[in-house]
A = this chain, B = another copy of it.
């Protein structure tokens, strides 16, 4: 009796549920597009030929899907990796040891040969004082699970300046990784205005363990050479496509992901998966016999990873209509199995959305708790835009995150489709519910290199 009542009360019409969930789970469009994006374009670092090819590709796909699509120009940083190498010099080993390393994004290039000194936090690096002068500071940590990313990422994002202030000549950071086969993980770093810019690279967790052990035996010298450099900012674009609302087209539900990827691999997980998920949600919604009440806007951001230019650019360009952004969802947590829907809104918002999630019950996805934000949509926070996320299982996310192993084979087609279905259903609910979600209290803008990643939510 209760069940019957609930089923009658479910607000999503059954043909809509069938088209959204059934379409995502049977047609294979999201996975086919991810394969096309990663195989025929590849890495999409901002400023690169791959990024620009991806912009053109995405615009065409949104148009194929009957979204009202356009490019919105943004200036992006143009950092390029060069030849890079490093080694532990022979003593205390019988022979030298090549370090599996990769420059951090935005690092300056340069060469160094110096003794290594180990630190485990920014505070420890600052406390090194004179003992760091002329040295290479090695930031080590014990990240074991995804939830620890947020705790240790400061060493990658702010370590170079902390070390430089203590007189260091270069920085090595243990990769923020939950598994490794000698695979270094890059990621954004930044330089404070008051500190010299010194070269900074990530090393594999195995090399970090070795360095740590060798330092117990005595002094260790390392040679480091990074050929990376920053070029002038370049023109790029966010790719934006609207499924125009049938009643309130001026009210916007934003579905975002970042088209940009790191350069070491094809970015299948970060964030090709998110890109094709939100594209798929847009495609399925646009193909409904009637559009939802509000506009659903797919935004493929350029340059999340090394500057957030896309997210900031979007917020600036749309400043006047942020008050009519009724919700924003960012898909940037990988393609693990979707576990829950998280809501950051005003009082009672989550409960308002809950009944709209009933088409996801059989997939095991219901309302959950935790951070619902994302880096690209964080510039919307000062305008009190509610954020909603589909939380995917993060267990394996940091195994490959920002590394050369972020490739298509790591993506499970069924979980990718489940995520697309969940995003489509969430977007439908947000765009169709009679009144929009209550808005949360405003949060301050987040203006730092990179906050905790979604998987740490």
Q: Is the CB of A94 within 8 A of B40?
A: yes
Interface flags for A41-75 (1: CB within 8 Å of B; 0: not) read 11100001110010000000000000000000000
Interface flags for A393-410 (1: CB within 8 Å of B; 0: not) read 000000110011101110
Q: Is the CB of B206 within 8 A of A50?
A: no
Q: Counting CB contacts under 8 A, is A39 at the interface?
A: yes
Q: A48-B95, A182-B265 are in contact. Are A408 and B39 (CB under 8 A)?
A: no
Nearest residue in B to A264 (C-beta to C-beta)? B182
| A403: B residues at CB distance < 8 A | 181-182
A42 and B214 CA atoms in complex are apart in Å by 12
Q: Counting CB contacts under 8 A, is A121 at the interface?
A: no
Q: Counting CB contacts under 8 A, is A195 at the interface?
A: no
Q: A179-B181, A181-B181, A404-B181 are in contact. Are A97 and B399 (CB under 8 A)?
A: no
In A178-221, the 8 Å CB interface with B consists of: 179-183, 205-206, 209-210, 213-214, 217
| A335: B residues at CB distance < 8 A | none
Q: Counting CB contacts under 8 A, is A100 at the interface?
A: yes
In A323-353, the 8 Å CB interface with B consists of: none
A436 and B39 CA atoms in complex are apart in Å by 61
Nearest residue in B to A213 (C-beta to C-beta)? B39
| A404: B residues at CB distance < 8 A | 100, 181-182
Q: Is the CB of A39 within 8 A of B210?
A: yes
| A93: B residues at CB distance < 8 A | 39-42
Most buried by B among A39, A180, A265, A405: A39
Q: How far is the CB of A411 from chain B (nearest CB, A)?
A: 11
A217 and B38 CA atoms in complex are apart in Å by 13
Q: Is the CB of B42 within 8 A of A95?
A: yes
| A206: B residues at CB distance < 8 A | 405, 407, 409
Q: Is the CB of B217 within 8 A of A94?
A: no
| A50: B residues at CB distance < 8 A | 94-95
| A251: B residues at CB distance < 8 A | none
Q: A94-B49, A181-B403 are in contact. Are A210 and B43 (CB under 8 A)?
A: no
Nearest residue in B to A177 (C-beta to C-beta)? B181
A265 and B206 CA atoms in complex are apart in Å by 10
Q: Is the CB of A41 within 8 A of B94?
A: yes
Q: A181-B405, A183-B182, A405-B182 are in contact. Are A40 and B92 (CB under 8 A)?
A: yes
Q: How far is the CB of A201 from chain B (nearest CB, A)?
A: 17
| A213: B residues at CB distance < 8 A | 35, 39, 408
Q: A48-B95, A206-B409 are in contact. Are A40 and B182 (CB under 8 A)?
A: no
Q: How far is the CB of A210 from chain B (nearest CB, A)?
A: 7
- In order of increasing CB-CB distance, the 9 nearest A-B pairs are A181-B405, A53-B94, A181-B183, A182-B404, A181-B181, A206-B407, A182-B405, A41-B94, A50-B95
